């Protein structure tokens, strides 16, 4: 029985109790780990986001305690709210995994495979998604649509070829800045992100479009081609900023701060949006109070060459072979210190 005022939902066999109105995706985020559906367009800090990319499709095998019928089709977990007694399948459903492969293939219809030269490589959500759920082939035989790169002001560049039309940047401009100057124009295959008569994006806080863009469509012109992200070292820092929280991640190469971004959580979302002054105009270490190295997910290429203290497992195996392996691991850790 769920606690009063809560709904009990099971996702891949793991139960969680959440407030009514919570979406399946957010219920899964409360559990955490591999059962959390991927999301390319949903962004919890941007109102109205979600429901566009279909990456987070899941199977509802039991609708609710009152009406246990399964839902007839896979549903977008970012837009479907939970019911009491609902049972959801994500990574335990072959149907979902198969559908996700098709969604990745669909997202890649027009997206170029230029990861080796793309500034977003190493922190691109589409790259991760393709790696985890892609098929390695495409049935799309037509030429991809292409656009010229456009400088949106002196700080941001739009490379429309890579855009997957998730609308996150439009919500950022709508909700964080004083005046929105860009949006999606055209329909269907002609849809594109554009500013009205190529107007530059210059509002304060507009730099956040770079952080929320899941691919390399909107990039930081002050960082472009300066380095590969896995050669940089992220460090959490803060400053007393009159405009925003001033809590950022500094990306170092040696002693030089190559770029400044908002801090991201485990789901790749910015924790607090930062202003343009913090992002573009304060790139000296003396501008900041340094806190600690930014924790990096082990699975990310950014973790390459970043060593942390290894904590050996508490369980000591009695089996001789495992015991030896354990000792070898401990010795290796000692050598790394």
Among 8, 100, 168, 259, binds ligand SF4 (CB under 6 A): 168
Rounded distance between C-alpha atoms, residue 332 and residue 337, angstroms: 9
DSSP per residue, 237-267: EE---SSS--EEEEEEETTEEEEEEE-B-TT
Helix (H) or strand (E) holding 232: none
Least separation in angstroms between CB 168 and ligand SF4: 4
Least separation in angstroms between CB 174 and ligand SF4: 12
Among 53, 76, 166, 229, binds ligand SF4 (CB under 6 A): 166
Among 218, 229, 257, 302, binds ligand SF4 (CB under 6 A): 218
Least separation in angstroms between CB 54 and ligand SF4: 14
* Cα angle value 259/152/181 (rounded, 5°): 115
Of 11-19, 31-39, 167-175, 240-248, which part binds ligand SF4 (CB under 6 A)?
167-175
Burial of 74 (0-12, 13-18, 19+ CB in 10 A): buried
Among 156, 169, 248, 250, binds ligand SF4 (CB under 6 A): 169
Least separation in angstroms between CB 72 and ligand SF4: 30
Least separation in angstroms between CB 213 and ligand SF4: 3
Name the DSSP class of 50: -
Rounded distance between C-alpha atoms, residue 107 and residue 214, angstroms: 12
163 binds ligand SF4 (CB under 6 A): yes
Contact 53, 40 (CB under 8 A): yes
Among 53, 60, 213, 274, binds ligand SF4 (CB under 6 A): 213
Of 109-117, 136-144, 210-218, 246-254, which part binds ligand SF4 (CB under 6 A)?
210-218
Least separation in angstroms between CB 79 and ligand SF4: 17
Contact 204, 177 (CB under 8 A): yes
Least separation in angstroms between CB 126 and ligand SF4: 9
206 binds ligand SF4 (CB under 6 A): no
Tokens found for residue 7: 């709904």
Of 103-111, 141-149, 214-222, 295-303, which part binds ligand SF4 (CB under 6 A)?
214-222
Q: Which is nearer to ligand SF4, 167 or 273 (CB)?
A: 167
Report the interface residues with ligand SF4, using CB under 6 A.
163-169, 193, 212-215, 217-218
């Amino acid at each position: 029985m769920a606690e009063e005022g809560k709904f009990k939902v099971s996702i891949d066999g793991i139960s969680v109790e959440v407030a009514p109105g919570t979406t399946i995706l957010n219920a899964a985020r409360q559990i955490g780990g591999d059962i959390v559906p991927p999301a390319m367009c949903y962004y919890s800090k941007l109102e109205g986001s979600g429901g566009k990319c279909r990456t987070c499709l899941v199977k509802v095998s039991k609708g609710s305690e009152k009406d246990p019928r399964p839902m007839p089709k896979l549903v977008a977990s970012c837009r479907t709210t939970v019911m009491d007694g609902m049972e959801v399948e994500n990574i335990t459903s072959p149907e979902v995994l198969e559908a996700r492969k098709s969604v990745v293939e669909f997202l890649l219809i027009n997206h170029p495979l230029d990861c080796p030269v793309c500034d977003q490589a190493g922190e691109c959500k589409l790259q991760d998604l393709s790696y985890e759920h892609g098929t390695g082939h495409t049935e799309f035989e037509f030429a991809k649509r292409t656009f010229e790169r456009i400088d949106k002001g002196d700080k941001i560049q739009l490379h429309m070829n890579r855009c997957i039309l998730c609308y996150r940047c439009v919500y950022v401009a709508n909700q964080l800045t004083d005046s929105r100057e860009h949006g999606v124009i055209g329909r269907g295959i002609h849809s594109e992100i554009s500013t009205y008569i190529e107007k530059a994006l210059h509002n304060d806080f507009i730099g956040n479009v770079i952080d929320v863009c899941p691919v390399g469509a909107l990039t930081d012109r002050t960082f472009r081609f300066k380095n590969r992200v896995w050669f940089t070292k992220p460090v959490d820092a803060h400053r007393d900023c009159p405009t925003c929280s001033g809590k950022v991640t500094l990306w170092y190469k040696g002693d030089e701060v190559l770029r400044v971004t908002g801090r991201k959580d485990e789901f790749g979302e910015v924790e607090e949006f930062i202003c343009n002054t913090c992002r573009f105009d304060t790139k000296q270490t003396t501008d900041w109070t340094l806190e600690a190295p930014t924790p990096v997910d082990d699975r990310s290429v950014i973790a390459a060459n970043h060593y942390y203290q290894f904590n050996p497992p508490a369980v000591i195996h009695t089996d001789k072979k495992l015991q030896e392996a354990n000792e070898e691991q401990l010795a290796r850790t000692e050598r790394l210190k």
